[in-house]
Amino acid sequence: MAAFELSHPPFDMLSFPEREALAAAADIFYFADDEEILAPGREVDTLYVVVKGKVREMAGDEVVAMYRQHDTFDARAMVAGSALHRYVVHEEVLALGLPKRDVLALTGSNPAFGAFFFDNVANKLGALARRTGSRELQTMLAASVSDVAMGKPVWVEAGDSVIAVAAAMKRHKVKSVLVRGLSGTGIFTTSDFRDVIIDGIPSGTPVGDLCRYDLITVEDSDFLFNALLTMTRRNIQRLVVTRSGSVSGVLEQVDLLSYFSNHSHLISQVLDRAESLDDLAHSSRQIGRLVGILSSQGVKAPQLARLVETLNAKLFERTWRLIADPALYNNSCLLVMGSEGRGEQILKTDQDNALILGEDADPVEAERAAATFSETLAAYGYPPCPGGIMVCNPQWRLGEDDFARRIAHWTGQPDGESLMNLAIFVDAQAIAGDDRLFVRLRERLAARLADDDAFYARFARAIEQFDTPLGLFAHLVTRERDGKSQLDLKKGGIFPVVHGLRALALEQGLPETNSFERLSRLVEAGRLDREFGNDLSEALSFMMGLKLTCGLAAQEAGGQAGNLVEPETLSSLERDLLKEALSVVKRFKGLLRHHFRLGGFA
């Protein structure tokens, strides 16, 4: 059986001895063209794994799914005891037959493997990202701070002189020391010595007078990815590591970077130091490469999106700072909106941005800078927005009062275009300039929407724009495009979840823009059931990940990332999980219809 090693999903959840034992119990089957393998109502005592050929699943005369090499069928029928659909050979098939008793025994002894057969939706979808055996190294998502090899912290006393501390740092070959002071723990670094020299501070000065006590810390049990985000966002080179609240070490940038093969923190530093648009263009390309690296290492799409959000915010802010003159920069507020504002954009998509002008902003300079900014982002690889939602469009480059009047129009005459513009604005984040301009606009929006149930219902109704591509018998509904059967994952799956959470968050007055943070707050407030919230979170995460995988594959093939997915190119496991995710979307849309009483609208 060595030629038919069970190393692909979901069998990669099994240990090597478990896979060997299961392969030893398997039989080899050959089926000719058009031969019927399973029929509705027929008892099923075997789980089939396609080694070669194709099998079509039929609901009546309709092809529900196509199974290829490494695909399995029919796990649901095996558990239920009988098949619901017909399974017919499309091209002659060589298949591995796994006995039902052996498969079910493993589902009982191996919870991770069993999740794919019996677990709830959240655990099924989450298990996809936790497959063991599929990578030799621990991924960034799973790694914790304690996994990094860190030296023991070097302690000094607050009364020790600066020169004595320098000697200690040289002796221990460290770039920072922790200081025991009366007011708590401080930190003193090699960077602090620069200030000592420049300011001419006497070498006998106690280090306790010079160190910093506002420590930025991370628990050693926390994900290393979160430490990376903190370093990137705060533009710092080290974090103090704690264990149960007590200091246990210092995580240096070099420690973190030596653990991983990517240089995301270095990209952030390059962005901060960039002195030309050419420098920034180079960093923009590095961000794109970083996405591919981290995705291949198993980082889940939501976490990857937040890292890209942080780097993009730095990229856009630095670009605007280099383009706009200081007077304009300080008298305006640059916004990113849509998926970028939510922190859910991973691959480069259409620009969605706006500019709020302060009273003293020069409109001529604003027009020039905005045009250059939009052109520069396009050169970075961010295509212009087809709808013109960019700072170069005067409709999205307005003074504070003019913007407020536009918002009043969107809320007062909620037609389709107005509601779309409002949805885009609701997801906005300020990334450069005077953010007080944006804060005041959000406050004015909140004041206009208080207790307006009819408005919230009209706003939420956008979830009905697109059908969920899941038909009877839980089969995926596709459309023929260019000779390929495809479905739009964004319209049919991601959008109704994102917009539904947006509507609920707007109704509750929540300030969060990220969909997962909105979901968490809604669960905490009791607006969504916790178990369903877990299902919804995992469903959205899976769909974002699938969209990313397909987008990266399209780019590697020389095309552009989009929203279309070809179910036939997915493994049977991925198709099953997509069906599970879309079933959660259907349930969420039903909940929204009831909550907002959408049945009363034409």
- List of domains in the chain: 2-118 (2.60.120.10), 151-259 (3.10.580.10), 264-450 (3.30.460.10), 462-600 (1.20.120)
Give the pLDDT of residue 3. 45
In this predicted model, which residue has the larger pLDDT, 8 or 510? 510
In this predicted structure, the answer to whether residue 359 has a pLDDT above a threshold of 50 is yes
With H, G, I as helix, E, B as strand and everything else as coil, classify residue 458: helix
pLDDT of the residue at 121: 58
**In the predicted model, is pLDDT for residue 176 greater than 60?**
yes
Which pLDDT band, with edges at 50, 70 and 90, does 109 fall under?
confident
- 428, two tokens: 């906005």
Q: What is the mean pLDDT of the chain?
A: 86
> Looking at residue 63, what is its pLDDT?
75
Q: How confident is the model at residue 362 (pLDDT cuts 50, 70, 90)?
A: very high
Whether residue 175 has pLDDT greater than 90: no
The lowest-confidence range among 110-124, 425-439, 547-561 is: 110-124
CA distance 547 to 529: 27
- Is residue 473 within 8 A of residue 85, CB to CB? The reply is yes
Fill in the amino acid letter for 350.
D
CA distances (Å), 436 to each of 122, 333, 389, 401, 443, in order? 39, 8, 22, 13, 11
Over residues 439-468, the mean pLDDT reads 89
Two tokens, residue 408: 């009043």
Q: Is the pLDDT of residue 136 over 50?
A: no
Q: Write the DSSP symbol of residue 478.
A: -
Q: In sequence order, which residues have a C-beta less than 8 Å from that of residue 79 and are 6 or more positions away?
A: 104, 117, 118
Give the burial class of 358: count Cβ atoms within 10 A of its Cβ; 0-12 exposed, 13-18 middle, 19 or more buried: middle
Q: Please tell me the predicted confidence (pLDDT) of residue 369.
A: 97
CB distance 64 to 57 below 8 Å = yes
Q: CB burial class (10 A; 0-12, 13-18, 19+) of residue 122?
A: buried
Examine the pLDDT at 118 and tell me if it is beyond 80.
no
pLDDT at 5: 66
Where is pLDDT greater, at 500 or 19?
A: 500
Task: Please state, for a pLDDT cut of 70, what percent of the chain lies above it.
Answer: 91
pLDDT at 119: 59
Q: Where are the alpha helices (DSSP H) in 153-276?
A: 162-172, 190-198, 224-234, 253-259, 264-273
Which residue intervals of 435-514 are DSSP H helices? 436-449, 453-460, 489, 495-508
Ranges assigned E (strand) in 290-352: 332-336
Residues 6+ apart with CB under 8 A from 435: 333
Q: Is the peptide bond before 10 cis (omega within 30 degrees of 0)?
A: yes
pLDDT computed for residue 135 by the predictor? 40
pLDDT in tens, 246-297: 898 898 877 776 565 445 666 776 787 778 898 898 888 888 878 887 777 6
Token match 């007011």: residue? 183
What values do phi and psi take at 182, rounded to 5?
Answer: -65, -30
State the greatest distance between any 2 C-alpha atoms of the chain, in Å, as a whole number: 90
> What pLDDT is attached to residue 422?
94
Higher pLDDT, 80 or 195: 195
When pLDDT is averaged across residues 173-195 and rounded to a whole number, the result is: 89
- Evaluate if residue 90 carries a pLDDT over 90: yes
Note the pLDDT tens digit of each residue in 365-378: 999 999 999 999 99
78-92: average pLDDT: 87
Closest to 354 (Cα-Cα) out of 306, 380, 320: 320
3-state secondary structure of 206: strand
Of 83-92, 260-269, 330-339, 342-351, the least confident: 260-269
For residues 323 and 360, what is the distance between their CA atoms, to the nearest angstrom? 18
